[in-house]
Amino acid sequence: MPDIDVRKLKGVAETLLVPLACRAIESIRPDAILHDPRAVEVYNALGGNPEFLMGMRGADKLVTVMRARQFDAFARAFLAKNPAGLVVDLGCGLDTRFDRLDDGQLHWLGVDLPEVIELRRKVLPDGERSKTIAQSMLEFSWLDEVARQNKPVIFLAEGVFPYFSTADVRPLVMAMAARFPGGELVFDAASPFLSRHHNRTSSVLKRSGVRILWDAKNPQEIETWGLCLLDHWYYFDTSEPRLGAFGWMRFIPFMAKSTGIFHYRLGK
């Protein structure tokens, strides 16, 4: 394994270690809700340091894993309808989704900042069906590679859009809708209330120096960007015993719908 200094990561890029650590630590639990052996391998290769969590604790770690599990579920449903389809992970970081989903047919494309992709390729090298692009997602030329592959496509933006402003997110979404009508898009977003709460209290945001800039109070409103809402999933839709006392929030409407994952078809 090459020598890797993760201390070089700053800002949003620094947060990529958090979901990796959450998935790896979850995977070795006897009651794990997500099994990700490749995440364990990469986590250990990078030193297996609990500091990668940046102070994240308890329920927040579980919620991060629940988010990955639900993104996987939407991707699997897409691949069931579109064998050998293309899964595009925006802000892919050190995600090991290709390994979790691989059915021997799917194609995967990860997009992230150059410094992130440089690190990623050292521990998760590109393969025949898994490629990466070292580029900001806000530089739309990476869409040309998606078009070149000429496959049914689902775009996943897990833990990405909230770090950017509406002025950043809207043109990107509209560009995807214009170029890939009939494709699919999945992203997560919180309500304005929860976004403000996270900005005040999240150790990850405080240590990395980033802020939540964008939220989605009403997922139907985003349909005006050239989308059609297909489905949504909220963290408290069903009881998750390991959430413990936090599970009571599912009985308070504004809390039960305070953060979710939204699944759209691109184009009207």
Q: Which domains does the chain have, with CATH numbers?
A: 62-266 (3.40.50.150)
* C-alpha closest to that of 174 among 153, 143, 151, 152: 143
Position 256 scores a pLDDT of 62
**Residues facing residue 188 across a β-bridge:** 261
Task: Give the contacts of 206 (CB within 8 A, at least 6 positions apart).
Answer: 55
Q: Quick check: helix, strand or coil at residue 110?
A: strand
Residues 172, 162: Cα–Cα separation, whole Å: 13
Asked whether the beta carbons of 15 and 210 are under 8 A apart, the reply is yes
Residuewise pLDDT in 10s, the chain (268 residues): 455 566 666 666 678 899 999 999 999 999 999 999 999 999 999 999 888 999 898 888 999 999 999 999 999 999 999 999 999 999 999 999 999 999 999 999 999 999 999 999 999 999 999 999 999 999 999 999 999 999 999 999 999 999 999 999 999 999 999 999 999 999 999 877 778 878 888 898 888 888 888 877 778 889 999 999 999 998 888 778 787 766 666 666 656 677 899 999 999 7
State the burial class of residue 153 (Cβ atoms within 10 Å of its Cβ: 0-12, 13-18, 19+).
Answer: buried
Residues 218, 195: Cα–Cα separation, whole Å: 14
